[in-house]
Amino acid sequence: MENSYLDKLIGALEELVVIGEEETASLQEALRRKDQWRQAFHDSIQGIQSIANLQDDLKRMSEDFPKKVARDFRRESAFLDAFESMMHLFTIPASQAPCEQIAQNLREIRTIPFNDNDAWFTREIPGLESSGMTKISPAKDRMQPFIDLESSTHKWLESRQDKWAEQFARVDSLLDEALKLALKMRD
């Protein structure tokens, strides 16, 4: 019985590692698209290319959304499987210390997105009043609020990239440690 719970724990941790790799690739793709989208946005404003190219990219992003939802479901299932397995393994005295450390690692992983609250993002992007969107005047000024909004968003994303990379690296490290502890329990 102990082995089945240990196998389930190891399987859940391995699934979390795979999901982490998928999320890293997804973030890299999103950052690549961000740069392409920014260039396309400015090109469309200058009349260099059609806004249709932006619409195609938005369509691709919306097609990726179900994949993200499925990945989120897999992640939640893996966390639940890991915690369920540890609950059973904790009844075995020799498994208690590793289970406690694995639980601490998983808890930290679960709370990383909340450790540095990004809610302030909405306060840094100019609102309608400060962006001038409420007092649009001549035709040439009509795009300026959108340009300002895009510029503010771009600056915020640029400032966050290093923090996101640190968070992904921390998750990888915690998962690696948890998986090593679980594999060691097999010995």
Q: What is the pLDDT of residues 81-120, one digit of tens each?
A: 999 999 999 999 999 999 999 999 999 999 887 555 555 4
**Cα four-point dihedral sign 156, 157, 162, 168:** positive
132 dihedral zone (left: phi>0; alpha: psi -120 to 50; beta): left
Q: What is the pLDDT of residues 136-161, one digit of tens each?
A: 455 556 677 777 777 877 787 787 78
- Rounded to two decimals, the pTM is 0.74
Hey, what are 24's tokens? 């890293």
d(CA 169, CA 167): 5
